[in-house]
Amino acid sequence: MNDHHRELAQAWLFRQRRRASHNADIWHLRFHREKYLGRIWQQVDNGEYRLLPPQLIRTGKQDDIVLWSAADAMVMKWVALEIKELLPLQSRCVHTAEHRGGGRDSLAEITQTLAQGARFVWRTDIRGYYRHIRKEQLWHHVCRFVRSPVLLNIIKQYIWYTVEHGGEFFTPQGGICRGSALSPLLGASFLWYVDSAFSRQEDIYYVRYMDDFLFLFTRRWPLRRAVRRLHDYFEDTGFECHPDKTQVGRTERGFDWLGVWFDATGPTGIAPRAKENHRARRLRLEEQARWRGLSEEAVRQRVQQYEARWTLWAERQMKAALLS
């Protein structure tokens, strides 16, 4: 096994949880790392490591938060680094680490495709993608490409995970946990066959970001065939398109991708949905800062920092989309 990947996983964990609560388990692991880290990796190598049930934190929203122990998060990050080169990933899946700027290069491709005469668009995403992944299908997919029993031991525990909430334990019958370094990689690779099939079609432009799909067409018939074909794929895997996030029609009506609004002429600005998300995030940031008892000056500085980051993000998105 790659010791460098273990060092990277440890550094990643310390960086990710550097602002954790003072009584979080990360501080105990860091303080006693010379005692515990060697023991953890020895258990992993012997196939004896067991993931603890993560804590389920109810948020009152559609997606709850699942918090893994610090040691489990580190081990799963190491597994993700180990299998990244083993699991198949298609270039049209642009949220993986191989793509610059979180798929930003696809914005320029869309601008170019529109300039070449793409008149029809279909944009959709999977309703509750991670919640509806069939465990057995994902496990068979992983076993096709990963042979190491050490890695498979951790992955199997992750897929059939048990969560704890208020002292009660239960194992979800379907889906996988999103709050892990493994989930983006497994989620990307699981739809590899879909990416491969559509990327071979010369009469369409296809790109995927996580569970969001975008198709561009110059003619109507390829659009209809693509819709029928994707629905066939979803029927085999138990997925369905989200009705509120599905758009089909002419490009002149406009559509958004990665926060940029496009029409038939190309990119026109930041998408309305991205602006609304920005406004809601700004208000939530103010509320959280005041709830923590920060001074008005501290609240103002925190909001200004967020505004600066968002403005920089928006400028980079538009620059990429404008082919400059």
List, in order, residues 6 or more apart from 271 with CB less than 8 Å away.
256, 259, 260, 261
Report d(CA 72, CA 165) in Å as an integer. Answer: 18
pLDDT tens profile 285-314: 999 889 988 899 999 999 999 999 999 999
User: What length is written for the chain?
Assistant: 324
Comparing C-alpha atoms, which of 53, 69, 75 is closest to residue 6? 75
Q: In which band, very low, low, confident or very high, does the pLDDT at 121 lie, cut at 50, 70 and 90?
A: very high
Q: Look at residue 53 and give its three-state secondary structure.
A: coil
Residue type, 300: R
SS3 state of residue 2: coil
As a whole number, mean pLDDT of residues 107-123 equals 96
Confidence band (pLDDT; 50, 70, 90) for 159? very high
At 256 the pLDDT is 96
Structure tokens at 242: 């989200």
Buried b (16+ CB within 10 A) or exposed e, 286-308: beebeeeeeeeeebeeeeeeeee
Beta bridge partners of 249: 121
The span from the CA of 152 to the CA of 155, in Å, is 5
DSSP string computed for 65-110: EEE--HHHHHHHHHHHHHHTTTS---TTBTTSTTSTTTTTHHHHHH
- Distance, in Å, from the CA atom of 8 to the CA atom of 300, rounded to the nearest integer, reads 35
With tokens 């979800």, the residue in question is: 172
Nearest-angstrom CA–CA distance, 288 and 135? 37
Cα 42 to Cα 30, 36, 39, 69, 116: the distances in Å are 18, 10, 5, 18, 56
Rg (CA), the chain: 22
Q: Residue 155's beta-bridge partner residues?
A: none
Residue 183: φ, ψ to 5° = -60, -45
pLDDT band at 324 (very low <50, low <70, confident <90, very high): low
Q: What is the mean pLDDT of residues 256-272?
A: 97
Tracing tokens 């501080």 back to the chain, one arrives at: 27
* Residues forming a β-bridge with 262: 255, 267
pLDDT at 9 over 70: yes
| pLDDT tier for residue 228 given thresholds of 50, 70 and 90 | very high
* Average of per-residue pLDDT values in the chain: 92
Quote the percentage of the chain above a pLDDT of 90: 83
Q: What does the pLDDT read at residue 167?
A: 85
User: Given pLDDT bands bounded at 50, 70 and 90, which one contains residue 66?
Assistant: confident
- Its pTM stands at 0.89
Instruction: Tell me 54's DSSP state.
Output: P
For residue 22, pLDDT over 60 is answered with yes
Task: Tell me the three state secondary structure of residue 192.
Answer: helix
Interval 163-213: pLDDT, tens:
998 888 988 889 999 889 999 999 999 999 999 999 999 899 999 999 999
* Mean pLDDT, residues 97-109 taken together: 74
Q: What is the band of 97 on the pLDDT scale with cuts at 50, 70, 90?
A: low
Confidence of residue 2 (pLDDT cuts 50, 70, 90): confident
